[in-house]
Chains A and B, each alone.
Chain A
Amino acid sequence: MGSSDSQQQIDSFRKQILEAAKTKTPLSIEGGGTKTWYGNNNQFAKLSTKNYSGILDYQPEELVITACAGTPLREIEQVLAEKNQMLAFEPPHFGEQATLGGAIAAGLAGPARISVGNLRDFVLGARIMDGKGQDLSFGGKVMKNVAGYDVSRLMPGSLGTLALILEASVKVLPKPAASSSIRCQITQAAALQSLNKSAGQPLPLSASCWIGANQADSFGELTIRMAGAEAAVYAAKVSLCSSLNAKELDSQEAETFWTQLREQQLSAFINLQADETLYRLALPAACGPLDLGNVGNISSEIILEWHGQERWIKGPSDDATFAALKQLANAHGGHAMRFRQGAKVNPANQRFTLLSEQTHSQALEPIQARLRASFDPSGVFATNRLP
C-alpha cells in the first residue's frame, strides 16, 4: 500500500469514527469477518479494516513484524515461514480471511500458549485510533520498553471495545529446530498429573491435548507435542514414550492434528447442534477432573488443552447450564464463557463471565468503565461485544 493510499484509509477511518461520535452510534469493527460470531452479539454499522492491509516492516533479525490491521494472517505466516519464523502463540484463524487486527482484537492463542505465553505477551506496539479520532502510537518495535503505560497491550482481547487497531508490531520467534508429537491412552486424572509434573521438569513441552469422556477414571487420548533443540526433543520423546507407553505420530499426522485442534475442526468440536453451545472453561493448573454431575445434560466428551487450563464442553444453551458452569469454574478459581453458539441459540445471550460475578474482580468494573470513557467518550466502540 502506498503512503498516500494509507493516509486516505486513515482519514476515512477518522471520518467514520467522528461521524459515529457525533450521532453517538457504536461501530462494529470487522477485519476478514471470520470471528463475527465471537463475543456478544453486535450488529451496528460496520467499520471495515479489510482494505487497510500490508506488511509495513519485517526484519527477521529483529524478531518483529509490523503490519496493518487488515493484513491477512496467512500472508503474515507465509512471509515469516520463508525466514523460518512464526507467530509462536499460534492464533486460530477460523477462516481463510482472518486478519492480524482481528486476531489481536480477539486475543486468542492456540495450543502452544501453555509453553510460549498468550497473544498479549507478543504484542510490542500498536498504532490505534481512539473514539476522538486521534491517531496514537504506543509501545514500539523493541522487546524492552518501559516508557509510559503499556497501552498497546490493552488491545488484545478487547474485541473492538476500546479503540480501533490500525497497525501492530508483534514479536516473532524462530521455528523450533525439531518437534515431535506422541500419543497414548490415559485417564484424565493421570494425564493432568503427568502433564503438570513434566512441565516442572526442564523438558521441551510445547502443547498438550486430552480428549475423552469427562470422568476421572475414563481413558481418553492424550497427545503431547515437544519442540526445541534436536537433542532435547529426542531425549524427551524417549523418556515420555516410555513412561506413558506412548507412540510417536508421523510428522504430517501431527501437524494436521495440531492445526485441526487450533481451528476447532476435530470431530469433538464440529457438529455443534443448532440448539447447543460450546463452552470454554479457563482453570488454574491445580484443577483436576471437573465434577459435572450437577451441570445437567452436558455432553460426556470433553477436550482439554493447555495442560488442562482450557477445557471445551458442549451442552444445552440455557442460562441455568451456563450459570452452573460459571459457578463450577469460579469454585476452582477459573471462569467460563459461551464460546460458540449453535444456529438457533439466542444471539443476545451474554457470552462472558462478568467482572461483577467474581468477588475479586468487582472493583475492576468501574476502572474499566472509566478507561473506556477516556478513550472513547462518545461510545463509538461501546458495542458491549466484550462486557
Chain B
Amino acid sequence: MVAMNMVAPPPDLAIISALQTKLVNALRPILPEDGLLWEPEDTIPYECDGLAAYRRMPLAVALPETEAQVSEILKICHAMTIPVVPRGSGTGLSGGAMPIAQGLVLSLAKLKKIVSIDPFTRTAVVQPGVRNLAISEAVAHLGLYYAPDPSSQIACSIGGNVNENSGGVHCLKYGLTLQNVLRVRAVLMNGEIVEFGGLAPDAPGLDLMSVMIGSEGMLAVVTEVTVKLVPKPKLARVIMASFDDIEKGGNAVAAIIAAGIIPAGLEMMDKATTRAVEEFVHAGYDLDAEAILLCESDGTPEEVAEEIERMTEVLKKSGASGIQISRDESERLKFWSGRKNAFPAAGRLAADYYCMDGTIPRRHIATLLKRIQGMEKKYGLGCLNVFHAGDGNMHPLILFNGADQDEWHRAEDFGSEILEACVELGGTITGEHGVGIEKINTMCIQFGEGERESFWGVKSAFDPDKLLNPDKAIPTLNRCAEYGRMRVSKGILPHPELERF
C-alpha cells in the first residue's frame, strides 16, 4: 500500500508493551469488562477510519458508557501523558480517527442514547454516538428533522459531525453542523467537564463553540449535543438540466444564485461521470450532455411550484439543452441516484480512484473543470467530476491503477495540482472531509507559518499538553514537507454499503 510510507518507523516493541500493560491496568478498574480492548484481534477494527489507506494499531481501545467514565479515562491518560484519539463511527474520510501507536483510542460508540426530544422548543439532546439519521428518524413523527445530511448519515455519529463540522447536499440552504447545534457538552483532556454555547442565544464570553465545532477531536471529547430541529418541508422536487458545454453549466449555477434563488440542493456532474453512472443506475441521463445539473426546491407545494418555475426560466436562459422536472418522489430519487452513486461507478472504471475535496468560488467552476481536462492529458489519467456546485465544493475522482507505481505517483501529482488550483482560485483544500492525517501536508499550501502557529495556540489553550489527537489537522513545521492523501485501493471502500459524498 503506497500511502503507508507516511507512517513513522515502529517504536521499540518492548517499550510499547510495557506502556500498554501500564495503561490497561490503570483503565481496567473504571471500565466494564467489554469496555477495554487491547489484544490485537480486538483492536484491529480500530486501526483505521473511512480512509483505509492509513492504518496504525493503538495501545488499547476504551469504550466508556458514561460521561464520568470518559472523564476518568482522560484524567488517567493525562496523568500518564498518553495521547488519546477520540472516535465516533469511524466513517471519516481524512483519517482523523487514525490511532496513535503509543496512544489510546477513545470510542464514543456506546454513548448512543437520545436523551430527550422537545418538539415545543425544536431541540433534541443526544449523546455523541447517536447516528445522524437516527435523530431525524426519531423526530419524523413530529414533522421535524435534523438538517445536516452528510452522505454517510446512516452510519456517521453526531459526535463525529460536531468534530468535522459536517455538511451535506442541503447545506447551501440549511447550513452546516455549526449552524444547527446549540450546545456541546464535552470533557477536556484534564477530565474537566465544559459546555460550549447554550440553549439561550449568545452565550457569555468568546464564542469558543465556533472553534470546538470542526476541531477534529483535538480540543475536547464531546459527550452530549443539543441540536436544532427544523420543520420538515412538505414537498421536494428536482430539475435535471443538460448542457452541451461545461462553461454554460457552470454559468447556470451562478445565474441561479444571482437570480436570488437558494436551491435546497444544486449538484453538477460532467460527461464522464454521467456516462459512468448511467451504466450503473439507468436513471435516464442525457449521455451527450457535457454537464448535468440537478437543482432541487423544497417547501410547501405553493413555494415549490413558484421556485421550480423561476429555476426553469433561469436554466433555459442559461442555455440548457434539456430540462426534466421530477413528477413524483420516486422520479426525484431516480434523478438523484446517479449523483449518489458516482463513487461505486468510478470503482467500476478503474482499479483505484483518489477523491479530492476542494472548494472554489462558484464562478470558477468552468475554469477549474477546463484545467482538470488539461491535467488529464498532462498526467495521462482520467478524472470524473462531481460537484456540490451550489457551494463550490468539488469531488474530482482521479482514476488510476495502484499496482502501477508510476500511475500512483502521477495521480498524487494530479491531485496536488487540483488542490493548489483550488487555493489559487480563492478556495480551500477541504470543504467537508476535514484535514485529518490525509491533508495535513496540504495545510502548508493554504496557510502560512503565522496562521499555523495561531492554530497551535488554539490547540494549547484547550489542551496545553497536546495529548488530544495531536498528530492531526494542524501540521508542525517539520511536517510541511511531506505528502498524504486518500486513495481507495482496488476499488474497495470501507463501509461499501454507504452512499458517498
**Interface of A with B (CB < 8 Å)?**
59-64, 83-85, 107, 113, 117-118, 120-121, 130, 134-138, 140-151, 153-154, 156-158, 161-162, 173-175, 177, 196-197, 199-204, 228-232, 234-235, 282-286, 306, 309-310, 329, 332-335, 337, 352-355, 358, 360-361, 363-365, 367-368, 370-372, 374-375, 386-387
Residue B279 CB within 8 A of the other chain: no
CB neighbours (8 Å) of B307 from chain A are: 229
* Residue of B whose beta carbon sits closest to that of A228: B303
> Which of B204, B433, B439 is the most central at the interface, judged by chain A CB atoms within 10 Å of its CB?
B204
How distant is the Cα of A283 from the Cα of B201 in the complex, in angstroms? 7
Could you write out 30 A-B pairs with CB less than 8 Å apart? A61-B258, A120-B210, A136-B450, A137-B451, A142-B426, A144-B171, A146-B165, A146-B214, A147-B435, A148-B446, A149-B215, A174-B259, A177-B306, A200-B119, A202-B231, A203-B231, A228-B303, A229-B306, A231-B300, A232-B302, A285-B199, A286-B199, A334-B200, A355-B205, A360-B194, A361-B203, A361-B205, A367-B208, A368-B205, A386-B205
Contact A229 to B302, CB < 8 A, known contacts A61-B254, A141-B361, A199-B122: yes
Residue B403 CB within 8 A of the other chain: no
CB neighbours (8 Å) of B379 from chain A are: none
Contact with A along B427-468 (1 / 0, CB 8 A): 111111111000100010011101110110111111010000
How distant is the Cα of A310 from the Cα of B202 in the complex, in angstroms? 10
Contact A149 to B260, CB < 8 A, known contacts A230-B306, A361-B204: no
How distant is the Cα of A354 from the Cα of B447 in the complex, in angstroms? 34
How distant is the Cα of A303 from the Cα of B455 in the complex, in angstroms? 41
CB neighbours (8 Å) of A337 from chain B are: 204
**A282 touches which of B201, B433, B461 (Cβ 8 Å):** B201
Q: Smallest CB–CB gap between A101 and chain B, Å?
A: 16
How distant is the Cα of A371 from the Cα of B464 in the complex, in angstroms? 11
* Residue of A whose beta carbon sits closest to that of B166: A146
* Residue of B whose beta carbon sits closest to that of A387: B205
Contact A231 to B455, CB < 8 A, known contacts A143-B392, A306-B201, A368-B205: no
* Residue of A whose beta carbon sits closest to that of B259: A174
> Which of B200, B208, B215, B448 is the most central at the interface, judged by chain A CB atoms within 10 Å of its CB?
B200
- Check A118–B201 contact: CB distance below 8 A: yes
How distant is the Cα of A228 from the Cα of B194 in the complex, in angstroms? 38
Contact A363 to B121, CB < 8 A, known contacts A144-B388, A229-B303: no
Q: Would you list which residues of chain B between 225 and 270 have a CB under 8 Å from chain A?
A: 231-234, 254-255, 257-262
**A146 touches which of B164, B200, B211, B474 (Cβ 8 Å):** B164
- Check A151–B211 contact: CB distance below 8 A: yes
- Check B208–A177 contact: CB distance below 8 A: no
Contact A142 to B303, CB < 8 A, known contacts A61-B254, A148-B474, A386-B206: no
CB neighbours (8 Å) of A375 from chain B are: 454, 457
- Check B233–A202 contact: CB distance below 8 A: yes
How distant is the Cα of A386 from the Cα of B208 in the complex, in angstroms? 14
- Check A232–B303 contact: CB distance below 8 A: yes
Q: Smallest CB–CB gap between A377 and chain B, Å?
A: 10
- Check B464–A370 contact: CB distance below 8 A: yes
CB neighbours (8 Å) of B214 from chain A are: 146, 149-150
> What number of B residues sit within 8 Å (CB to CB) of A?
98
How distant is the Cα of A365 from the Cα of B205 in the complex, in angstroms? 8
> Which of A134, A158, A337 is the most central at the interface, judged by chain B CB atoms within 10 Å of its CB?
A134
Q: Smallest CB–CB gap between B170 and chain A, Å?
A: 12
Q: Smallest CB–CB gap between B267 and chain A, Å?
A: 13
CB neighbours (8 Å) of B434 from chain A are: 146
Residue B198 CB within 8 A of the other chain: yes
- Check A84–B204 contact: CB distance below 8 A: no
Q: Smallest CB–CB gap between A195 and chain B, Å?
A: 11
**A201 touches which of B231, B255, B260 (Cβ 8 Å):** B231
- Check B300–A148 contact: CB distance below 8 A: no
How distant is the Cα of A231 from the Cα of B308 in the complex, in angstroms? 13
**B446 touches which of A134, A147, A203, A361 (Cβ 8 Å):** A147
Q: Smallest CB–CB gap between B463 and chain A, Å?
A: 9
- Check B206–A157 contact: CB distance below 8 A: yes
- Check B204–A153 contact: CB distance below 8 A: no
Residue B213 CB within 8 A of the other chain: yes
- Check B300–A202 contact: CB distance below 8 A: yes
- Check B176–A154 contact: CB distance below 8 A: no
CB neighbours (8 Å) of A174 from chain B are: 257, 259-262
- Check B306–A231 contact: CB distance below 8 A: yes
Q: A121-B178, A146-B434, A173-B262 are in contact. List 7 more A-B contacts (CB 8 A).
A: A61-B254, A130-B454, A144-B393, A147-B439, A174-B257, A174-B259, A365-B205
**A117 touches which of B179, B448, B458 (Cβ 8 Å):** B179
- Check A141–B426 contact: CB distance below 8 A: yes
How distant is the Cα of A229 from the Cα of B452 in the complex, in angstroms? 44
> Which of A64, A200, A372 is the most central at the interface, judged by chain B CB atoms within 10 Å of its CB?
A200
Contact A202 to B299, CB < 8 A, known contacts A150-B213, A364-B194: yes
* Residue of B whose beta carbon sits closest to that of A366: B461
- Check A154–B210 contact: CB distance below 8 A: yes
> Which of A118, A140, A161 is the most central at the interface, judged by chain B CB atoms within 10 Å of its CB?
A140
- Check B234–A202 contact: CB distance below 8 A: yes
CB neighbours (8 Å) of B232 from chain A are: 202
* Residue of A whose beta carbon sits closest to that of B360: A142
Q: Smallest CB–CB gap between A355 and chain B, Å?
A: 5
How distant is the Cα of A386 from the Cα of B432 in the complex, in angstroms? 32
**B188 touches which of A135, A143, A158, A363 (Cβ 8 Å):** A363
Residue B305 CB within 8 A of the other chain: yes
* Residue of B whose beta carbon sits closest to that of A361: B195
Contact A354 to B204, CB < 8 A, known contacts A134-B450, A144-B167, A151-B454: yes
* Residue of B whose beta carbon sits closest to that of A178: B306
- Check B431–A286 contact: CB distance below 8 A: no
Q: Smallest CB–CB gap between A124 and chain B, Å?
A: 10
